[in-house]
Amino acid sequence: MTAPYLAAEELTVAVGGRDVIAGVSLTASRGQLIALVGPNGAGKTTLLRALAGLLPSRGGLTVGGEAVTSLAPRERAKRFAYLPQGHVVHWPLPVRDVVALGRYPHGAVDPARLSRGDAEAVARAMRIADLDALADRPVTELSGGEKSRVALARMLAVEAPVVLADEPVASLDPYYQLEVLGLLQRTARAGALVVVVTHDLGLAARFADRVLVLAAGRLVIDGTPEEALGEDPLAEVFRITAWRGGAADQPVVVPWSAV
């Protein structure tokens, strides 16, 4: 296994005087797709934002061997590409210009005046997200699923070594759910560390190399999909049973009943 690129040690986040993330420790290497799962209110979004350095926290947090708190905002924005849940653009900008915002950490402040390298990065991200046909459309005229793909392309245009995506397929139809998780998996295989928050345990089992299970702000399981989504964890953490099978040498998990 390659050396850890992202490391958290006893990471704790307080909100309103209460620890909503309590002593989470983990290491993660580039080349992995990690699914972060857990019941509602477990703290998944809070943990993801804390890993990106977007929330004040206690404990240790390093990226590439450097303390996240020591990085200037622009340098941190180059290291972490963060896709928030329900990301919405309110201005009628062309899709291409919205995707180009992902190059801002690299100094591209005007989408109409991109360097060759920035333009190529934007073009790659749009092609990956299947947006070429929508390049000149105002983003406000798109469907919810199309807007989600624009937000994903903007994140990919950063070309950061760490990609943090919060529910990136929540509003997508099944075709694009599979397409988006597939491209995030390929992004990991190309050398990025990808962490995806998802409620879809089937997609986590299908695409993740590793699954982190969060419950009440604590990391309770860190393992393979087979380990983390086994019968006992699902019953204890999610209060469900699931049907299990396999296809193409990959696990299949289908939530079946409440317990």
Whether the per-residue pLDDT at 152 is higher than 70: the answer is yes
What is the reported pLDDT for 203?
96
Does residue 171 sit in the same domain as residue 109? no
Whether the per-residue pLDDT at 172 is higher than 90: the answer is no
How would residue 228 be classed by pLDDT, with cut points 50, 70 and 90?
very high
| Residues, the chain | 259
Mean pLDDT of all residues in 46-53: 96
Mean pLDDT over all residues of the chain?
94
The answer to whether position 77 is within a domain reads no
Does residue 12 sit in the same domain as residue 94? no
Domains identified in the chain, total number? 2
Q: For residue 140, which phi and psi values (nearest 5 degrees)?
A: -70, -15
Mapped onto helix, strand or coil, the DSSP state of residue 23 is strand
The answer to whether position 177 is within a domain reads yes
Q: For residue 49, which phi and psi values (nearest 5 degrees)?
A: -65, -35
The answer to whether position 80 is within a domain reads no
Tens-digit pLDDT profile for residues 94-126: 999 999 999 999 999 898 899 999 999 999 999
CB atoms within 10 A of CB 178: 15
Range of the domain at 93: 88-159
How would residue 209 be classed by pLDDT, with cut points 50, 70 and 90?
very high
The answer to whether position 69 is within a domain reads no
What whole-number percentage of the chain has pLDDT above 90? 83
Tens-digit pLDDT profile for residues 20-43: 999 999 999 999 999 999 999 999
What is the reported pLDDT for 53?
93
CB atoms within 10 A of CB 215: 18
Does residue 54 sit in the same domain as residue 92? no
CB atoms within 10 A of CB 22: 16
Whether the per-residue pLDDT at 72 is higher than 90: the answer is yes
What is the reported pLDDT for 199?
95
The answer to whether position 72 is within a domain reads no
Does residue 166 sit in the same domain as residue 155? no
What is the reported pLDDT for 145?
82
What is the reported pLDDT for 159?
96
Amino acid identity of 21? Answer: I
Among 97, 127, 159, the domain boundary falls at: 159
What whole-number percentage of the chain has pLDDT above 70? 99
Mean pLDDT of all residues in 117-142: 95
Crossing angle of helices 116-128 and 144-157, rounded to 10°: 140
Mean pLDDT of all residues in 76-94: 89
Whether the per-residue pLDDT at 218 is higher than 60: the answer is yes
pTM, two decimal places: 0.92
Cβ(86)–Cβ(113) under 8 Å?
no
Whether the per-residue pLDDT at 256 is higher than 70: the answer is yes
Q: For residue 216, which phi and psi values (nearest 5 degrees)?
A: 55, 40
Whether the per-residue pLDDT at 2 is higher than 70: the answer is no
The answer to whether position 129 is within a domain reads yes
The answer to whether position 256 is within a domain reads yes
Rg (CA), the chain: 18
